[in-house]
Amino acid sequence: MGYHKPALLHESIDGLYIKPKGSYVDLTFGGGGHSLEVLKKLGKNGRLVVFDQDQDAFANVPDDKRLIFVGANFRYLKHYLRYHAIEKVDGILADLGISSHQIDQPERGFSFKSDAALDMRMDVRSKRTASQLLNEAPREELVRIFKSYGELGNAFALSTAILAAREEAGIETTGDLEGVLKRFIPKHQPSKFLARVYQALRIEVNREMEALREMLVQTAGCLKPGGRLVVITYHSIEDRIVKNYMRSGNLEGEIEKDFYGNIQSPWKLVNRSVITPSEEEIKENNRARSAKLRIAERTEL
């Protein structure tokens, strides 16, 4: 099995509008599927900086002088570009979420399909595992996580069951969690319910929405005029954050206009409506089914 099959590969690479001598950033290197396509389009003087907070991704880095690997969270985008003496780049790509490799490694605890410790950290240097979250978080936090990241209607009841279970014995493994969830698992589409619970925990453990917001607000300052920001999301909240930011240049999505009514934004939308995978792509790669691609171009402000 491969490390990861890239989603919306051609659409996102076309969106970057690669110039052979340009400098590009892949914020989510993973198996390097997108990066490899960028490298194919770059000339010998082109440059590609890649980020991944998961040290496993380093094994996929090709021996290529044009590429720099940064083993850190992309929330430090600006810092690492400065560290590598790169002032501004021509394109930034982010393919958010987790890779198939992370899900398929039982010991990482991302999957309800195998019994393992509930870890779920993409960056194993970070402090809080999913098991710590489940055993320590106050009820309100659990309710918020299940409601907003898992879109689960019974978030309160789930949290009550977790609180009761952790008083008796800790919730350490995927098996422990399944025991707690057992009475909530619907007969119809049980995997869909479990996937939502796991997704919610993973998003919180990795503070994915915070990292996305922190990264996005740095992108305008890191791109040259005409440079492209290309983002693939897999969750409705992520997509809303990206959509608002690309429309307005701020996270609130508040559109500012000048005296003449012209929109004041560092971005021009390249695709008015969101790009989604074709039926064929979904057939070949089921994990691409929720992918949504948005592309914006840095204006001359």
Ligand X SMILES: C[S@@+](CC[C@H](N)C(=O)[O-])C[C@H]1O[C@@H](n2cnc3c(N)ncnc32)[C@H](O)[C@@H]1O
Q: Which is nearer to ligand X, 5 or 247 (CB)?
A: 5
Closest listed residue to residue 5, CA positions, set 213, 297, 294, 284: 284
In the bound state with ligand X, the residue whose beta carbon lies nearer, of 165 and 211, is 211
Q: Is-contact 33 39, C-beta < 8 A?
A: no
Q: Three-state DSSP class for 156?
A: helix
What is the dihedral sign for C-alpha 125, 131, 132, 134?
A: positive
Our CB check for ligand X shows the closer of 72 and 269 to be 72
Are the C-beta atoms of 299 and 266 separated by less than 8 Å? yes
Report the Cα 79 to chain-centroid distance in Å.
Answer: 19
- Cα–Cα distances in angstroms (integers) from residue 198 to residues 37, 103, 152, 285, in the given order: 31, 11, 11, 20
Write down the least CB distance from residue 140 to ligand X, Å. 25
Give whole-number Cα distances, 46 to 65, 156, 194, 253, 255, in Å: 10, 52, 44, 34, 35
| Residue placing its CB nearer to ligand X in the complex, 159 or 285 | 285
Does 292 participate in binding ligand X (rule CB under 6 A)? no
Should residue 52 be labelled a site residue for ligand X when binding is judged by CB under 6 A? Answer: yes
Give, as ranges, the residues between 154 and 193 that touch ligand X (CB under 6 A): none
| Minimum CB distance to ligand X, residue 135 (Å) | 24
Kindly write out the interface string for residues 104-133 of this chain, putting x where it contacts ligand X by CB under 6 A and - elsewhere: ------------------x-----------
Among 13, 25, 50, 57, binds ligand X (CB under 6 A): 57
Using CB under 6 A as the binding rule, whether residue 235 contacts ligand X is answered as: no
Alpha-carbon gap, residue 16 to 93, rounded angstroms: 7
Find the part of the chain contacting ligand X (CB under 6 A) among 48-56, 80-88, 261-269, 273-281.
Answer: 48-56
Give residues in contact with ligand X (CB under 6 A). 4, 6, 28, 30-34, 51-54, 57, 73-75, 95, 97-99, 122, 211
